[in-house]
Structure 1
Amino acid sequence: MKPETLAIHASNLVKNTTGDVTPPINLSTTFFRDENGGYPGGHMYSRVSNPNRSALENTVAKLEYGEDAAAFASGNNCGMSLFQALKPGSHIIAPDDMYWGIKKQLLTIFNETLEFDFIDQTDLNLIEKSIKPNTQLIWIETPSNPLLKITDIEEIAKIAKAHHITLACDSTFASPILQNPILLGADIVMHSSTKYLGGHSDVLGGILVTAKKDELWEKIKNIQQTGGAVPSPFDCFLLCRSIKTLAYRMKGHCENGKKVAQFLVNHPNVEAVFFPGLATHPQHEIAKKQMKDFGGMMSFLVKGDVDATSKVVNSVKLFAQATSLGGVESLIEHRYSVEGPDSKTPKNLLRISIGLEHVDDIIADLEQALG
């Protein structure tokens, strides 16, 4: 099946006597055992598995062409569980432009048990040079947050496989509709399902998908089920509901994104635009090779200082000044003020998530805010 069809039908796992077309929310935390002590319904306890979570995991695994998936209570839980599954002393090669929440985990939680280097992963030679005898994971993020860097998944996968290193890709900015890292050689794919998968800014979650059920994956599943940082049945229901429209929402985000990026490029008060769909983007050709389209995420530099940047972000009327991304509404955020004084993000950078409003209204709001 094509992604549009899978997104609608892959979550319809629940078969019941009432004949629901849309699977119901299954709130039971425990399930009947039979006379032999087995579980005829396939579930034992909701922390371990639940019909709604199984439906979600099945759907995203199929959309990402993986063997299995593990859903978590947040995107950060995904990174946390993967890092926990590594042997103490393992070395990780991570991107220099990395989502600050996952980076903060490495710097403040795993700093005594794991080693890591943050490098420019657009430089393949630098990746090769950064590999150590104890390197167990290359973590990539493409497009990256917030500079929209593109890393070549296929080429990095070749390097990882040659050195027997696991390659994990945070593909949140792309969604499974625009990019499938497993098909390009990645071992694990991560999504913050709060973002495009949820699409309505009303559910928190994260999900990992694996290319194969190997020893590392079994450790991750054990951490998920034993640690218990799992989404509720209602969260899983909301995500399955939202994924049904994912393919068509992404078409709208992509169409609006390209038009907004072109508007910003031509605006006299904009210094630079970071969007992989622009021919001027340094990794545009790589993006064309590995993405079906370019999404609705971009960042731009306001021409001027922090005060000029603050004036823009405080002048929008249609955009919501808020964190997160991937919802139907357009969002704008000054990333430096979120990430703090150690941030490498330029102080005049604004990150925008282009929503599904009419593109003329989106551009009009940016135009009046930029002056």
Structure 2
Amino acid sequence: MADQNFPLTGFSSLAIHGGHEQDPRYAHLTPIYATSTFVYDSAEQGMRRFSGKEDGYIYSRWGNPTMEEAADKIAAMESFGITDAGGRPITVKGYLQASGMAAVNTLFMSTLKTGDKILSHYSLYGGSQEFMDKLLPEFGISVVIADLRDLDKAAAALKADPAIKMVYLETPANPTLQCVDIEALTKLGKQYGKIVACDNTFATPYLQQPFRFGVDFVIHSTTKFLNGHGTSIGGIVLGRDVEFMNAWAYKVHKLLGGNSNPFDAFLLINGMKTLEVRMERHCHNAMEVAGFLEGHAAVAKVNYTGLPSHPDYYISSKQMRHPGAMLSIELKGGIQAGIDMMNSLKMCTRTVSLGTCDTLMCHPASMTHYSVPKAQREQYGITDGLIRISVGMENIQDIIADMDQALK
């Protein structure tokens, strides 16, 4: 086990050793603590734990060593190398959730109340969009959508509606890969006294750290690149106000019951250890694929922030280590050309989700964003002919060869 006082200066070192505490029985890898409850040496000890006078585990919905290590590792990665105004390393607290949507729910339920509004932008993950459109209004919470790539429009929305409580960002956005300026929008949000939250699923903390730009909360679907192998479902909500996270956010987390479980947490921990090396390969392949597709006769448009042709190329390069592994394309033949391409794939995988070792392709209009009305989808740039690609880690010549033959 690495000495906890040894300063880790590299991201992979942190991804491997961060958050880990030596198991009492000296297991090399983090054990799966498959237990619903924890026992006490005495009745008095149980009383102290329930009253909060003594630290310790009580019930796995409230906390579990395997789940806690996974959360602490992500918190360490999201805060790695970031200091506050006084030059001190920032501290971040996170709670592992059953899914990315559970993280969204815990975030909103712990920070918003009836009458509050969320300011967000075009092209969010379909589940987040549907949650905002269909469930939050039942609790008297509504969403204002604006083109937040235009800071004047963002400022106008905040100035016009004092009921806005939160600025909610997702960058790069799913599936159009739109990027918004985290730093500028956070400064603007703070100018008006708003909470700022960011979904960092597409980027991962290796490519982008929203806390570096002053946001209050970060969420992930850990199912994706953090796990990296498609073996478990999970999410996390992280906050930099540790007092709030330990008190009210923890209470909401417990009572909503959207906690993760030890088995999924164990798989997540082991997946995250290779995050840097995986993302380097993913990103290299994605850049090659984007360049190939941009020059292909059958392709009308490539949405990839690593291409100078993308309108958010500058913003992406300013706040991300690399443009990432996600892209989407429009084919000249429209939806039928997309169907033909998907049906002709020989190696790449036809499925939803993203972030696994293999290249995944899906049709958002009929899959991930099926529940979003057509007119709204098209307004956000999610047309019927759009195909989303999560570029995998296969040999690049095989990925390109499969796409080329499928396009023919």
Look up the SS of the partner of 1:136 in the other structure. Answer: strand
Cα offset, 1:230, TM superposition: 0.9
Amino acid at match of 1:34: D
2:157 to 115, 121, 130: 130
Cα offset, 1:256, TM superposition: 0.4
Give the 5 Å matches for 1:273-284: 273-284=302-313
Cα offset, 1:15, TM superposition: 2.3
Unaligned runs of 5+ in 1: none
1:155 to 173, 179, 184: 184
What residue is the counterpart of 1:171 in the other structure?
A: 200
Cα offset, 1:107, TM superposition: 1.0
Amino acid at match of 1:278: L
What residue is the counterpart of 2:130 in the other structure?
A: 104
Look up the SS of the partner of 1:130 in the other structure. Answer: helix
What residue is the counterpart of 2:142 in the other structure?
A: 115
Q: Does 1:13 align with 2:21?
A: yes
What residue is the counterpart of 2:254 in the other structure?
A: 225
Q: Does 1:183 align with 2:212?
A: yes
| Structure 2 CA distance for aligned equivalents of residues 325 and 258 of structure 1 | 16
What residue is the counterpart of 1:24 in the other structure?
A: 31
Q: Does 1:90 align with 2:98?
A: no
Is contact 1:31–1:44 with CA below 8 Å preserved after alignment? yes
Is contact 1:137–1:165 with CA below 8 Å preserved after alignment? yes
What residue is the counterpart of 1:73 in the other structure?
A: 98
Amino acid at match of 1:52: T
Is contact 2:326–2:389 with CA below 8 Å preserved after alignment? yes
* TM-score, length basis structure 1: 0.97
Amino acid at match of 2:104: G
Would you identify which runs of 4 or more consecutive aligned residues in structure 1 move more than 6 Å? none
Coordinate RMSD, CA, aligned:
1.4
| Structure 1 CA distance for aligned equivalents of residues 157 and 249 of structure 2 | 25
Look up the SS of the partner of 2:237 in the other structure. Answer: strand
Amino acid at match of 1:114: I
Comparing 5-14 and 186-195, the one that deviates more: 5-14
Comparing 274-283 and 29-38, the one that deviates more: 29-38
Task: Provide, for residues 132-164 of structure 1, a one-character-per-residue CA deviation record: whole Å limited to 9, x for no partner.
Answer: 211110000000000001100000010011111
Amino acid at match of 1:92: I
| Structure 1 CA distance for aligned equivalents of residues 13 and 274 of structure 2 | 10
Look up the SS of the partner of 1:80 in the other structure. Answer: helix
Cα offset, 1:216, TM superposition: 7.1
Cα offset, 1:34, TM superposition: 3.2
Residues 80, 318 of structure 1: alpha-carbon distance in 2 compared, 3 angstrom cutoff: same
Q: Percent identity?
A: 34
Is contact 2:94–2:245 with CA below 8 Å preserved after alignment? no
1:359 to 384, 389, 396: 396
| Structure 2 CA distance for aligned equivalents of residues 366 and 337 of structure 1 | 21
Amino acid at match of 1:79: V
Amino acid at match of 1:10: G
Q: Does 1:349 align with 2:378?
A: no
Give the 5 Å matches for 1:227-306: 227-306=256-335
Is contact 1:313–1:321 with CA below 8 Å preserved after alignment? yes
What residue is the counterpart of 1:59 in the other structure?
A: 73
Comparing 2-11 and 219-228, the one that deviates more: 219-228
Residues 310, 217 of structure 1: alpha-carbon distance in 2 compared, 3 angstrom cutoff: farther
| Structure 2 CA distance for aligned equivalents of residues 160 and 67 of structure 1 | 20
| Structure 1 CA distance for aligned equivalents of residues 76 and 263 of structure 2 | 21
Look up the SS of the partner of 1:140 in the other structure. Answer: strand
1:212 to 230, 235, 241: 241
What residue is the counterpart of 1:369 in the other structure?
A: 406
Aligned length: 370
Comparing 44-53 and 125-134, the one that deviates more: 125-134
Task: Provide, for residues 232-253 of structure 1, a one-character-per-residue CA deviation record: whole Å limited to 9, x for no partner.
Answer: 1011011001000011100000
| Structure 2 CA distance for aligned equivalents of residues 217 and 108 of structure 1 | 30
Is contact 1:319–1:365 with CA below 8 Å preserved after alignment? yes
| Structure 1 CA distance for aligned equivalents of residues 343 and 121 of structure 2 | 31
